[in-house]
Amino acid sequence: MNTTLAADRWQSVRDQLVGLPGGDGVNIAHEAVDRHVAEGFGSTIAMRFLGKHEAPDDAGEQYTYQRLATETSRFAHVLRGLGVWPGETVFLLAGRVPRLYVAALGALKGQHVVCPLFSAFGPEPIKQRMVLGNAAVLVTTASLYRRKIAGIRDELPVRHVILLDVDDQADAPPDTWAYGPLFDRAIGVFQITATSPETPALLHFTSGTTGTPKGALHVHDAVAMHRATTEQVFGLRRGDVYWCTADPGWVTGTSYGIIGPLTVGATLIVDEAEFDAQRWYQILEGQRVDVWYTAPTAIRMLMYAGAEAAAGIDLSSVQRAFSVGEPLSAEAVKWGIEHLAITFRDTWWQTETGAMMIANTAEDVVLAGSMGRPVCGIQAGLLTTTDAGEIVLDDSGHVIELDDPDRIGMIALRAGWPSMFRSYLDNEERYRKCFADGWYLAGDLARRDPSGSFWFVGRADDVIKTAGHLIGPFEVESVLNEHPDVTGSGVYGIPDPVAGEIIHARIVLRRGVEPTDQTISSVMAHARRRLGAAVAPREIVAVDRLPITRSGKVMRRVLRARELGLPEGDLSTLEGPVTDDQATDHEGSDS
Ligand code: WT7
């Protein structure tokens, strides 16, 4: 692929943006909000928020594009007024309430870097990410603050904590700000200053196999891809009603739960409540949803709830539905067609890619079980790997592309698309390792059929995918190892019909400690407190020893294979008691 051609390709994607007035660059919040007001669509409904206790067909709290423009401007002023500067990071930790969305878009107006966190995280993952991301501001709620932040506040770099649901400063705990008075004092017009497309905009944490979570940094240019894919894949147009069920604490909930659909002028539905099959069907019907973006875990839960849950519900408004995050089985696609008359279309991407890369678009005839084809000018290839999942280079140092339909290779994307991550925070080396010979290496294995459709095979490493979330085993192990009775642990995923995978742990106890129920419960309680229910292991079993590599790294794949009764492979394992030293030495090489 020659580079001029590639540059032109992205030019046409970028040409869909209006840019800041006066040729002052590109700002996500302008493309998502202010441009619609400028174009005369200020009275279109941008977002409809359904509170936890509101009926699924309620009008909810409505935000027109005009209201969103005004409130995000005020929030941009709030941050400026607190002395927060462009480039500083604003962390968000809250459920799906309107002010969270206002804060995200307002912070983008001010060129702050937005980092959403999942509100179900416990204090430990929150602290780790806020320290790594050098958080200047935390936007959260009074109850989350009390439960998760107050106890670790001294260890966080934040200068300001803003409590979204507090309207009177007298009700705010010491060293926090009530949103209400700050917001009331701020004016509703904010002129976005010149924003280079390369200005950092979004920070998303994602877990690898080893080490602490990585912070993938995205820039304002990403919005070109958010918009182009929203149009091409979803076929979403101005005024369409759109529902993304992902939480904004994850990349899907930001790229497609906020930004992409707003850039085309759609009306977004946001439901504060947790999953409930009947409620979901009622929302699809009651809100007259045109386009629905969800995940295989949710689809499996709908399947478990049985088609009865949809009985008597009119789903005819739903023109298209899409899925992301894990393999969408052919069985799930068939179930949707048969029981809901909805064809779920699979899409594939990653935190690092910032936007959909491979998908079954609105126009495509769906091949059940396939992830679809590259979208919006993306060039995707399959590269030859060793059995251990490492990329193979030829004699002249180039990667080797596969075109044989029966061969499995690593998914790779020709580098340079607008929403490509620009770095891993403080981890230049890790970033460099994601690229070879002009390709971004996705770490997923796939096949490609003669029609050019990709079929997912698995991950080249062993991160755990539970309920749609990627979790690095190391993150969980390091918390387990903190327990006074634990000297070492190995954490891995076990297939689960609902969550995709669930987390199991094997631990080695300190000499002299008996593996009683009480001991195990105490470790379990510690894990839940530190990690939150979403990330804590479901099962913890004490063992005498763990399989380790020569360098002392726990071989999680072996633990997993043992539990599942699979062959352990030709991995040269050393069986040994994990000493305190070895147990904490997981950061070492992958040997
Ligand atoms: C990993 C990325 C991108 C939004 C959500 C997840 C897996 C993603 C699919 C799919 C099979 C999929 C991959 C990928 N994945 N989509 N359609 N079929 N697997 O972002 O947390 O960065 O996870 O999710 O393994 O590498 P993420």
Mean pLDDT of the chain: 90
3-state secondary structure of 166: coil
Q: Which atom of ligand 1 is nearest to the CA of 442?
A: 26
Residue-level pLDDT at 326: 83
Encode burial over 448-469: b for 16+ CB neighbours within 10 A, e otherwise: beeeebbbbbebbbbbbbbbbb
470 pLDDT band, cuts 50/70/90, is low
Q: Does position 433 have pLDDT exceeding 70, yes or no?
A: yes
Residue-level pLDDT at 571: 37
Residue 301: which of 268, 267, 326 has the closest Cα? 326
3-state secondary structure of 97: coil
| Distance (Å) from CA 326 to ligand 1 centroid | 5
Q: Does position 583 have pLDDT exceeding 70, yes or no?
A: no
Ordered domains of the chain (ranges, CATH)? 11-378+417-426 (3.40.50.12780), 381-416+427-460 (2.30.38.10), 462-544 (3.30.300.30)
Q: What is the CA radius of gyration of the chain?
A: 24
**Could you tell me if residue 354 is left (phi over 0), alpha (psi between -120 and 50 degrees) or otherwise beta?**
left
Mean pLDDT value of segment 410-420: 97
Question: In angstroms, rounded to a whole number, what is the distance separating the alpha carbons of residues 241 and 311?
Answer: 22
Residue-level pLDDT at 468: 77
Percent with pLDDT over 70 in the chain? 92
Q: Which atom of ligand 1 is nearest to the CA of 371?
A: 17
Question: In angstroms, rounded to a whole number, what is the distance separating the alpha carbons of residues 538 and 524?
Answer: 8
User: Of the given ranges (355-359, 416-420, 476-480, 568-572), which has the lowest mean pLDDT?
Assistant: 568-572
Beta bridge mates, 48: 62, 269
579 pLDDT band, cuts 50/70/90, is very low
Quickly count: other Cβ atoms within 10 Å of residue 165's Cβ: 18
- Spell out the alpha helix ranges (H) of 247-315: 251-254, 260-263, 277-286, 296-305
Residue-level pLDDT at 7: 66
| Distance (Å) from CA 444 to ligand 1 centroid | 9
Question: In angstroms, rounded to a whole number, what is the distance separating the alpha carbons of residues 315 and 285?
Answer: 5
Model confidence pLDDT, tens digit, residues 306-358:
999 999 999 999 999 999 988 888 889 999 999 999 999 999 999 999 999 99
Q: What type of residue is 438?
A: G
Residue-level pLDDT at 464: 81
527 or 586: which leads in pLDDT:
527
Task: Identify the burial level of 237 via C-beta atoms within 10 angstroms of its C-beta, where 0-12 means exposed, 13-18 middle and 19 or more buried.
Answer: middle
Q: Which atom of ligand 1 is nearest to the CA of 459?
A: 25
Structure-token match 């007259």, residue found? 288
Residue-level pLDDT at 9: 81
Model confidence pLDDT, tens digit, residues 214-242:
999 999 999 999 999 999 999 999 999 99
Residue-level pLDDT at 550: 52
Residue-level pLDDT at 358: 98
User: Of the given ranges (254-263, 268-277, 445-454, 552-561), which has the lowest mean pLDDT?
Assistant: 552-561
- Spell out the alpha helix ranges (H) of 118-221: 123-132, 142-144, 179-185
Mean pLDDT value of segment 486-490: 90
Residue 385 DSSP symbol: B
130 or 578: which leads in pLDDT:
130
Question: In angstroms, rounded to a whole number, what is the distance separating the alpha carbons of residues 465 and 166?
Answer: 35
| Distance (Å) from CA 349 to ligand 1 centroid | 6
3-state secondary structure of 137: strand
Which stretches of 142-265 are assigned E, i.e. beta strand? Answer: 160-163, 177-178, 200-206, 214-219, 241-244
388 pLDDT band, cuts 50/70/90, is low
Pocket mutation for ligand 1, best pick of 259, 346, 350 (most atoms within 8 Å of C-beta):
350
Q: Does position 439 have pLDDT exceeding 80, yes or no?
A: yes
Residue 364: which of 166, 505, 232, 525 has the closest Cα? 232
Q: Whose CA is nearest to atom 21 of ligand 1?
A: 470
Residue-level pLDDT at 568: 65
Residue-level pLDDT at 27: 98
94 pLDDT band, cuts 50/70/90, is very high
Run of H or E including 531: helix 517-531
| Distance (Å) from CA 490 to ligand 1 centroid | 23
